[in-house]
A and B are shown apart, each in its own frame.
Chain A
Amino acid sequence: MTTQFFDEANVVGKTFSGFGVDENSLISILGKWNKDEAKTFRTITTFFIQDERHFEKWLVEHLDQLKREFLRFQDAIVLWTMHPWERDARLIKKALTDGPKSYNVLVEIGCTRKSDELFGARKAYHSLYDRSIEEDVASIVTGIERKLLVALVSSYRYEGPKVHEETAKSEAKTLYNAVKNAGKKHPMEDEDVVRILSTRSKHHLESVFKHYKEFSDGKGMEEEVEVYLSLKHTVECLSTPHTYFIKVLEEAINPDADEKMKEGLTRVIVTRADVDMKVIKKEYPKKNGATLVDKIEQMANGNFKNFLLTLLARGE
Chain B
Amino acid sequence: MGDDSGESGRDKGGDGSCGAMGGGGDWDVEGGGGWGTNEELIISILAHRNAAQRKSIRQTYAETYEEDLLKALDKELTNDFERVVKLWTLDPAERDAFLANEATKKWTSSNQVLVEIACARSPQELLLARQAYHAHFKKSLEEDVAHHTTGDFRKLLVPLVSSYRYDGDEVNMTLAKTEAKILHENILKKAYSHEDLIRILATRSKAQINATLNHYKNEFGQDINKDLKADPKDEFLAILRATVKCLTCPEKYFEKVLRLAINKRGTDEGGLTRVVVTRAEVDMQVIKEVFHRRNTVSLDHAIAKDTGGDYEKMLLALTGHDDA
The answer to whether A134 and B154 have CB atoms under 8 Å apart is no
The answer to whether B168 and A130 have CB atoms under 8 Å apart is yes
Contacts of A191 in B (CB 8 A): 154-155
Closest approach, in angstroms, between the C-beta of A164 and any C-beta of chain B? 9
Asked if A158 meets B139 with Cβ closer than 8 Å, knowing A130-B168, A132-B203, A199-B146, the reply is: yes
Question: 1/0 per residue B275-315: CB within 8 Å of A?
Answer: 00000000000000000000000000000000000000000
Contacts of A151 in B (CB 8 A): 158-159, 162
Contacts of B199 in A (CB 8 A): 135, 138-139, 150
B: contact size bracket = 20 to 34
Partner of A155, one of B147, B162, B168, B205: B162
* Chain A interface main SS type: helix
Cα separation A199 to B147 with both chains bound (whole Å): 9
The answer to whether A130 and B147 have CB atoms under 8 Å apart is no
**Smallest CB gap from B127: residue in A:** A119
Question: 1/0 per residue B6-45: CB within 8 Å of A?
Answer: 0000000000000000000000000000000000000000
Cα separation A160 to B134 with both chains bound (whole Å): 8
Closest approach, in angstroms, between the C-beta of B186 and any C-beta of chain A? 15
Contacts of B204 in A (CB 8 A): 135
The answer to whether A132 and B165 have CB atoms under 8 Å apart is yes
Q: Does B170 contact A (CB under 8 A)?
A: yes
Closest approach, in angstroms, between the C-beta of B196 and any C-beta of chain A? 9
The answer to whether B203 and A138 have CB atoms under 8 Å apart is yes
Partner of B138, one of A119, A126, A131, A162: A162
The answer to whether B140 and A201 have CB atoms under 8 Å apart is yes
Q: Does A68 contact B (CB under 8 A)?
A: no
Within 8 A of A (CB), among B123-154: 127, 130, 134, 138-143, 146-147, 154
The answer to whether A150 and B159 have CB atoms under 8 Å apart is yes
Cα separation A123 to B165 with both chains bound (whole Å): 9
Q: Does B101 contact A (CB under 8 A)?
A: no
B138, B164, B170 pick with most chain A CB within 10 angstroms: B164
Per CB-CB distance, the 5 closest pairs between chain A and chain B, nearest first, are: A135-B203, A199-B143, A154-B162, A130-B170, A195-B146
**Which A residues are closer than 8 A to B by beta carbons?**
115, 119, 122-123, 126, 130-135, 138-139, 146-147, 150-151, 154-160, 162, 191, 195, 198-201
**5 A-B contact pairs sorted by A residue (CB < 8 Å):** A123-B164, A132-B166, A134-B164, A135-B199, A151-B159
